[in-house]
Amino acid sequence: MDLSVVSTLYRTAGFLDEFYTRVCSSAEKAVGSFEIILVNDGSPDDALARAVALHERDPRVVVVDLSRNFGHHKAMMTGMGHARGDFVFLIDSDLEEPPELLPAFLEKLRREHADVVYGIQRQRRGGAFERLSGEIFYWLVDRLCDVKLPRNLVTARLMTKRYVRNLVRHREREVIMAGLWQITGFHQVPIEVDKHRAKKPSSYLTLRKMVLAVDFITSFSSVILHFVLYLGLAIAALAFLALAVLVLRYVGGTHPPEGWTSVIASVWLFGGLSIFFIGLVGIYVARIFNEVKRRPYTIVRDLYRRAPDGTRS
């Protein structure tokens, strides 16, 4: 098998037939043999029925039906785990990233002798707030994490079998794909792409993006915990210094000034800091709690794949 095209399905039933046609057209021009792996991530529309119909019509279509919605990143990892091709092309099925990118990705991978060719947006889309929040996220990642993310990553990427084999060895229950792509290593090169206008409402709303940002930083950095320690030491040192000054003033006959404003302000300040830091540490503890349970990050309800003899496996 030369190529596996992996995509996930969630509210994309209306794009599936066109996606299949365009993927087949691109893959047939680029390679000799290929398969299309469609992972149904608990889609509430009829995406599963349409995918199974494609499978019945074309044995090159493999359908992985998850038992419920587990999330985009986990579904992608599950799909790559079922890939059999020498190359794996990961792409979303909503057609924002055109399947016709495949030949260019393949040509660059061979020319650069790379293990991964990943897409980056030529120009980030969205309004001023979305662009600003994106820049803030990358700024925080650059300064707080050991993992350095390329700017404006997209899902589309072409990978060799050896890279994918090592990528799916990561068994985190909280899967953050952008970080796992980077820490897996190997020779990775970017290629600029243009995303088409979204044809469906994005499931990555602003609040969801904020959650992903927090998840990424707490998954790939312990710098914040060190910052909490050092800030606590600094506050303790300042408090000790202020206490020493008050004692010296009292011994010298000057009573410390009275006033509720400074007291209340201090209580609110340090109370807020304490709650913030407890919550921050709680996020790390929650991640540990989720990991040590060792639950599978996805459950496959059914697999639609044809065996070489034509029977379903």
| Secondary structure of 100-144 as H, E, C letters | HHHHHHHHHHHHHCCCEEEEEECCCCCCHHHHHHHHHHHHHHHHH
Sign of CA pseudo-dihedral 226, 227, 230, 235:
negative
Question: For the chain, how many structural domains are there in total?
Answer: 2
Domain with 198 in it: 3-203+296-304
Q: Are residues 277 and 300 in the same domain?
A: no
Is residue 313 assigned to a domain? no
Is residue 95 assigned to a domain? yes
Q: Are residues 92 and 227 in the same domain?
A: no
Q: Are residues 285 and 300 in the same domain?
A: no
Q: Are residues 42 and 156 in the same domain?
A: yes
Of 44-58, 114-128, 172-186, 251-265, the least confident: 251-265
Is a pLDDT exceeding 60 seen at residue 59?
Answer: yes
- Decide if 22 contacts 99 (C-beta within 8 A): yes
Contacts of 123 (CB under 8 A, 6+ apart): 194
Q: Are residues 157 and 82 in the same domain?
A: yes
What's the CA gap between 172 and 180, in Å, rounded?
10
Q: Are residues 129 and 254 in the same domain?
A: no
Is a pLDDT exceeding 70 seen at residue 50?
Answer: yes
Q: Are residues 267 and 140 in the same domain?
A: no
Element (H, E) at 158: strand 153-160
Is residue 210 assigned to a domain? no
Average pLDDT of the residues in 115-129: 79
**Gyration radius from the chain CA atoms:** 25
Q: What is the mean pLDDT of the chain?
A: 81
Residue 103's CATH number: 3.90.550.10
Q: Are residues 196 and 258 in the same domain?
A: no
pTM score: 0.74
pLDDT of 34 reads: 95
